[in-house]
Amino acid sequence: MNPTVTKPTLILGGTGKTGRRLAERLTARGLPVQIGSRSGTPPFDWENNTTWEPALDGVGAVYISYYPDLAVPGAADTVGAFSRLAVECGVRRLVLLSGRGETEAQRAEEMLKASGADWTILRCAWFSQNFSEGFLVESLLEGEVALPVGSVGEPFVDADDIAEAAFAVLTQQGHVGELYELTGPRLLSFADAVAEIGRAAGRDIRFIRISHAEFTATTAEHELPAEFAWLLNELFTEVLDGRNESLTDGVQRVLGRAPKDFSTYATETAATGIWRN
């Protein structure tokens, strides 16, 4: 067992999609965790850097899941500042959750590497769980998903695989200085993904492609903040232009097994009833 995890692991975003799953895995093995979020003890807030040092006190490693998204301008500088502080405080083992094909995320990776940390990077595709724990749930329940994206294929990755990979790199030796690109095993368009969810949920759910302007108007109607609309438009423009239309062997390299397929995710998640209207 890696000695850094015998002290608490600080899990930033520890109540979110991947952080919660990592916390469950560490806790199940009797390893101590400290949730790093605004509701944690002590609280951790990316927007208030006076909360960072108290959260680092006594921890052995940090899982860095930034909020809201590494694509947001300035995210890299914030992650860099946090990483340097962690190293100064003697917490050298840092694992960064990053995103594929995002300029600002790749800048955050460079900041992490330059901090002097014992780093590992998990550079991930779009999470399958965006459909069940994120902004797409409401439109799936309404029976129509309208997004500014066409037939581009995305290798959706399951948050359980990301959490398993984070658990492995934190608890086993040999992952320092490694970057793992984590994708699912299959390219699906958003229309394909919505169709699979419809089949799994036994419901008729439509997918329509809309323009970026229409998408911005829709998010405003749903009273989502303008920054959120900007972020989604940015992701749909920058990341879903075909640059990420490829599979990687990251899950296989870390976990020694194939990644979970989207259809398994859809079937398991439909069984929870989350897409039942």
Ligand X SMILES: NC(=O)c1ccc[n+]([C@@H]2O[C@H](COP(=O)([O-])OP(=O)(O)OC[C@H]3O[C@@H](n4cnc5c(N)ncnc54)[C@H](OP(=O)(O)O)[C@@H]3O)[C@@H](O)[C@H]2O)c1
Nearest residue (CB) to ligand X, 132 versus 216: 132
Task: Tell me how far, at minimum, the Cβ of 64 lies from ligand X, in Å.
Answer: 8
Instruction: Establish if 97 lies at the interface with ligand X (CB under 6 A).
Output: yes
- 99 touches ligand X by CB under 6 A: yes
Instruction: Tell me the window of 22-30, 127-135, 205-213, 243-251 that interacts with ligand X (CB under 6 A).
Output: 127-135
Binder among 2, 130, 218, 264 for ligand X (CB under 6 A): 130
- Name 11's bridge partners: 35, 63
Q: Residue written as tokens 């093995």?
A: 29
Told to check if 13 binds ligand X by CB under 6 A, we report yes
Burial 137-169 (b: 16+ CB within 10 A, else e): eebbeeeebebbbeebbbbbbbbbbbbbbbbbb
Q: Which of 213/227 has CB closer to ligand X?
A: 227
| Residue 126 binds ligand X, judged by CB under 6 A | yes
Neighbours of 172 (CB within 10 A): 12
Return the structure tokens found at 192.
């394909």
Residue nearest to ligand X as judged by C-beta position = 16
Cis before 68 (ω within 30): yes
Q: Are strands 93-99 and 206-209 parallel, antiparallel or unpaired?
A: unpaired
Q: Is 37 in the site for ligand X (CB under 6 A)?
A: yes
Query: How long a stretch of residues is the chain?
Result: 277
Q: Is 131 in the site for ligand X (CB under 6 A)?
A: no
Among 3, 6, 27, 38, binds ligand X (CB under 6 A): 38
Residues sharing a CB contact under 8 Å with residue 230, sequence separation 6 or more, in sequence order: none
Q: Which is nearer to ligand X, 127 or 275 (CB)?
A: 127
Choose between 3 and 227: whose C-beta lies nearer to ligand X: 227
Q: Are 120 and 178 in contact (CB under 8 A)?
A: yes
